[in-house]
Amino acid sequence: MVLLSAQRWIRSRLTDRFWRVQEVLKYARHFRGRKNRCYKLAVRSVRRAFVKSTKARREKKRILRALWITRIEAASLEHGLKYPAFISNLLKSQVELNRKVIADLAIYEPKTFKSLAALAQRRRQEGFLAALGDGKEPEGIFSRIVHHY
């Protein structure tokens, strides 16, 4: 018999199934149970792991900000100020440090944090006097706004 059309007898075969499977299993090697060995279970677990990590990257920013706020609150309570008073008075005295840096200062530079708390307390008192006195007494020194032109 003469095979007139030889091309029809060659079918394509999947030859790199091993590497395609390893691509998925390499992300599942540290999982618990059969999902670190069996491909069918691993595919589902790896997919869930990727989706959770993408969502967690957005949540991480919120979690870290809440952590910094808790730490700043604890540190300012040690100096006799509450967190909203501390932050609002710092912003009113034109000190634009963000919560990450203030939390780091509260941990590693206690003297600097104490001076920031004293600044906020003084600005708070000047605010009270300005609100109660209605402008007859001299304005506070720490409430002066610095203009950079």
The residue (of 33 and 138) whose beta carbon lies closer to other proteins is 138
Q: How far apart are the C-alpha atoms of 89 and 112, rounded to whole Å?
A: 16
**Nearest 5°: CA angle at 100, between 99 and 106?**
85
The residue (of 13 and 111) whose beta carbon lies closer to other proteins is 111
- Neighbour tally for 36: CB within 10 Å: 15
Closest separation in Å from C-beta 34 to other proteins? 21
Q: How far apart are the C-alpha atoms of 13 and 19, rounded to whole Å?
A: 15
Write the interaction track for other proteins spanning residues 69-108; mark x where CB under 8 A is met and - where it is not: ------------------------xxxxxx-xx--xx--x
Please give the residues from 32 up to 71 whose contact with other proteins meets the rule CB under 8 A.
Answer: 47-48, 50-51, 53-54, 57
12 binds other proteins (CB under 8 A): no
One residue of 42, 72, 116, 117 binding other proteins per CB under 8 A: 116
Burial code (b: 16+ CB inside 10 Å, e: under 16) for 1-27 equals eeeeeeeeeeeeeeeeeeeeeeeebee
Binding site for other proteins (CB under 8 A): 47-48, 50-51, 53-54, 57, 93-98, 100-101, 104-105, 108-109, 111-112, 115-116, 119, 125-126, 128-129, 138, 140-141, 146, 148
